[in-house]
Chain A
Amino acid sequence: MMKLAVVEAKLLTREPGALFSLLIPLFILVVFGSSIEPGDTVLLPMALAIAVGMVGLYLLPTTLAAYRERGILRRLSATPVRPGNLLVVQLILQLVLAVTACGLLLAVAGTVLGATLPTGVPSAVLVFLLGTASMFAIGLLIAALAPNGRAANGIGVLLYFPMAYLAGLMQPKDQMPAMVARIGEYTPLGAFGQSMREVWAGGAPSPLLLGVLAAYALVVSIAAATFFRWE
């Protein structure tokens, strides 16, 4: 199990997608961060949501669907090790990647850009965990339904952009039609981004949005587990 984790971690570092998930949000942060006013509470939560969304919707399903397509899960079931171990290892590694991406963003924003960091650390952690759980659940569902790695990649990208738009990650929410912005708040990425902004603004995240995130995480992972095929 340990060796599996080490090898999978090495493979993840050789995966260009992993580097993109770290660099793209950072790039967005730095480009927009240079022109932003001090005390801004929107940009950093946005970058964090983008990072977690990329890992959950894009990297996780692509990796898992490719593993199934290549028969790697099936090959593993012919050894004394259960293929479920690989799934667990992947989830942990992708979580580590999401945490790393967010840590990098916070570090750069906190030092170079002098951005506000939230005071309510426990609520920030709670929002991060629930948001990540719901993103990963969607990623798992994509992995369960996609016939191969390329399809998973396509579905991930296809879902990512509308979700990012609805979540107000593509343009400021006050420039979006009110109705769309309202609906967007209840999409997984939207609820995640909105809760983040609330934490950054110094308040407590709305219990309703946290409930929405938890519900997504739960319902979608059950669906993913139902539809998942090992081969």
Chain B
Amino acid sequence: MAVIEVTDLRKSYADLNVLDGVSFSVEEGEIFGILGPNGTGKTTTVECVEGLRRPDGGSIRVLGLDPVKDARKVRELIGVQLQQTRLPEAIKVWEALDLYASFYDNPRDWRELLEEWGLADKRDARFGKLSGGQQQRLFIALALVGNPKVAFLDELTTGLDPQARRTTWELVKRVRASGVTVVLVSHFMDEVEELCDRVAVFNRGRVVAVDTPAGLVGGEHRMRFTLMAGDTGGMDGLEDLPEVVEVAREGNRVVVTGRGDFATAVTAHLARHHVLVGDLRIDKRTLDDAFAALTGRSFE
């Protein structure tokens, strides 16, 4: 079942088309990534879905509801972590959770969330005294305190150190494991590759692809090596391997292009035919390459 359906979403500010016909759908129980460089309409899209902004055109359904017309019902069912939001410096961790829990009809027990998110010993600490990672965990806990069906996490790990990012990733997986569908907005390739079941790639206010991270990377990889000596007759037949697309040879330097796990097939073939090679190197495509191919520009 589609939890979120966005069709031909349009939004412009002062003649600038921020969203130019965005469509995608999010299935129940997945971590859905919204990926793209800054300023490509990711946050605007998510804010339209959350009902914080009114779209100029197109339609949005969140659990079958319209986020503008059924705003209150939708807000009851979603949890949100916004970019660049803070809390009052003097509010204590438990007060924030207790307060936000009181906004919902059917909230979770915030004491459980305190434990789950490793904030139990920070219960009485003021927001201003928390570290960046602790503040981020509190924001995720606040997004979950209403017992939502869908959680929106926007640029979750920006500003966190690598260790805290890894920890946060594990926590996001845990959110999904608890049955909450997650929409993750990010401009980090590694984050999306690690976490998302499917990804919508944004560029200039449009969705240029929706696929699994592996599907997006997909395509062809290259393997280069130098023939060392001896019998190179074993090179014949390399082209006939099903995973291999092309073999280019110039003197004793060889470039093999292939798909999937072609590298294993190629090295096995060479070993079987006693071909000695050196300087072996595999150029794997990354999500960055996929993005460049999709949009015609590099990511950062």
Chain A residues with CB under 8 Å of chain B are: 3-4, 7, 10-11, 14-15, 66-67, 70-72, 74-75, 77-81
Contact = CB atoms under 8 A, between A and B. Distances in A.
B84 A72 contact: no
B86 A70 contact: yes
B50 interface: yes
Given A3-B99, A70-B87, A74-B52, 20 more contacts: A3-B98, A4-B99, A7-B91, A11-B88, A11-B90, A66-B88, A70-B85, A70-B88, A71-B85, A72-B86, A72-B88, A77-B52, A78-B50, A78-B52, A78-B78, A78-B80, A79-B75, A79-B100, A80-B75, A80-B104
B103 interface: yes
Nearest to B139: A75
A72 B84 CA distance: 10
B72 interface: yes
B195 interface: no
B82 interface: yes
B76 interface: yes
Given A10-B95, A71-B85, A72-B88, A81 B52 contact: no
A70 B96 CA distance: 15
Specify the main secondary structure of chain B where it touches its partner: loop
B50 to A, nearest CB: 6
A4 B88 CA distance: 13
B102 A14 contact: no
Given A11-B90, A79-B75, A80-B76, A74 B99 contact: no
A77 B71 CA distance: 10
22 contacts: A3-B102, A4-B102, A7-B99, A10-B95, A11-B90, A66-B88, A70-B87, A71-B84, A71-B86, A72-B85, A74-B52, A75-B80, A75-B82, A77-B52, A78-B51, A78-B78, A79-B75, A79-B104, A80-B72, A80-B76, A80-B103, A81-B103
Nearest to B87: A72
B258 interface: no
Contacts, number: 57
Q: Which of B76, B78, B84, B99 neighbours the largest number of chain A CB atoms within 10 Å of its CB?
A: B99
A78 B95 contact: no
Given A79-B100, A80-B75, A80-B103, A74 B95 contact: no
B82 A74 contact: yes
Nearest to A69: B86
B146 interface: yes
Contacts of B90: 11, 14-15
A77 B82 CA distance: 11
Nearest to A75: B85
What 9 A-B pairs have minimum CB-CB distances, sorted nearest first? A71-B85, A14-B90, A78-B80, A70-B86, A3-B102, A79-B103, A81-B103, A80-B75, A75-B85
A71 B82 contact: yes
A213 to B, nearest CB: 32
A75 B98 CA distance: 15
A14 B129 CA distance: 14
